[in-house]
Amino acid sequence: MPPSEPWTIGRLLQWTVDYLKGRGAEEPRLDAEVLLAHALGCRRIDLYTRFDETPAEQARAAFRDLVQKRAAGTPVAYLVERREFFSLSFRVSPAVLIPRPETELLLVALLDLVKQRPGGGPPEIADVGTGSGILAVAAAKHLPSARLTATDISPAALAIARANAEEHGVAGRIEFLLGDLLEAVPAERRFDFILSNPPYVSEAELQRLPREVKDHEPRAALVAGPRGTEVIERLVPQAAGRLREGGHLLLEISPTIHEAAAAILAAERRLEPASTLRDLARLPRVLVARRLRDA
């Protein structure tokens, strides 16, 4: 294109798609549209009716800065500070993991189990390692009678989670507690459901992840240890002791640790052997175990 031709939205998008593609971006078109919409303060869909518009230099400068950071590997979600999960928009920051579509299966499993639950008052739900709060907030939105407790070891993550709860109008039904796993929950508290997307990446698996994950997302929320099951090993006995009879523990896992994680649950005598839910790629993604009656 001749240098004198104006930098319209359409031209900016095409140039950026080519630029990001050349630097290994998996979804260069989506990245370009999300970043440009953010720089312009509009919805991504609005770009399609504005292709011939020439943005002001201030917006173009902001867009150039975002594109440079994206080309260097910074995830788009951190650049725009938002990510959608279960059709809801959530705030994110480098203090929390970026929500992923696979985690929606964990929420769907919870909602299905709540529907099957016999009467007996509002369900009590714990979200362990809440991060940005996506599971607790989405559960509160879809289960208006539920009472939720969300824990995290990171004060910065809890601040994001609280902000998301406020934004979605459910902060009054979620108690946020700072602490490792369930240690901050009062000893007498019992739950009908405990769910968690815990750290489950092994040290070796971390090295195989894309650079934007291993270099930018919080390591403590990703890596469990050399085996990838270390956090699950600690969480399962804690959860078994905090579930009411007939309550359920739901865990998101990596397919690479499926057998090991299932064995950890099978060794916990207070729980029934876990069932496995598979994601859209037919990979094992969620383990669900039921609390047995006390002997």
Q: Examine the domain organization and report whether 138 and 162 are in the same domain.
A: yes
Cβ-count burial of 34 within 10 angstroms (0-12 exposed, 13-18 middle, 19+ buried)?
A: buried
How does pLDDT run across 181-226, given as a tens digit for each residue? 999 999 999 999 999 999 999 999 999 998 889 999 999 999 999 9
In this prediction the pTM is 0.92
Q: How many folded domains does the chain comprise?
A: 2
* Residues 221 and 154 both lie in one domain: yes
Domain boundary residue, one of 17, 44, 72: 72
Q: Quick check: is 42 in a domain?
A: yes
190 and 55 part of one domain = no
- Point out the domain boundary residue: 31, 46, 72: 72
Determine the structural domain holding residue 236 and report its residue range.
Answer: 86-290
Residues 68 and 92 both lie in one domain: no
Question: How many Cβ atoms from other residues are within 10 Å of residue 84's Cβ?
Answer: 12
Q: 């969480």: which residue's tokens?
A: 235
78-136 pLDDT, tens digit each:
999 999 999 999 999 999 999 999 999 999 999 999 999 887 789 999 999 999 999 99
Does residue 295 have a pLDDT over 90? no
258-250-193 Cα angle (round to 5): 165
Q: Are residues 112 and 186 in the same domain?
A: yes
DSSP one-letter code for 117: P
Q: What per-residue confidence (pLDDT) applies to 293?
A: 83
HSE-CB of 114 using CA atoms within 13 angstroms: 23
Residue 295, in any domain of the structure = no
**Statement to judge: residues 204 and 253 lie in one domain:** yes
CATH of the domain at 128: 3.40.50.150
Same domain, 142 and 248: yes
Contact 224, 232 (CB under 8 A): yes
Same domain, 25 and 131: no
| 285 closest CA partner among 107, 106, 52, 134 | 106
Residue type, 294: D
Going by pLDDT thresholds of 50, 70 and 90, the confidence category of residue 1 is very low
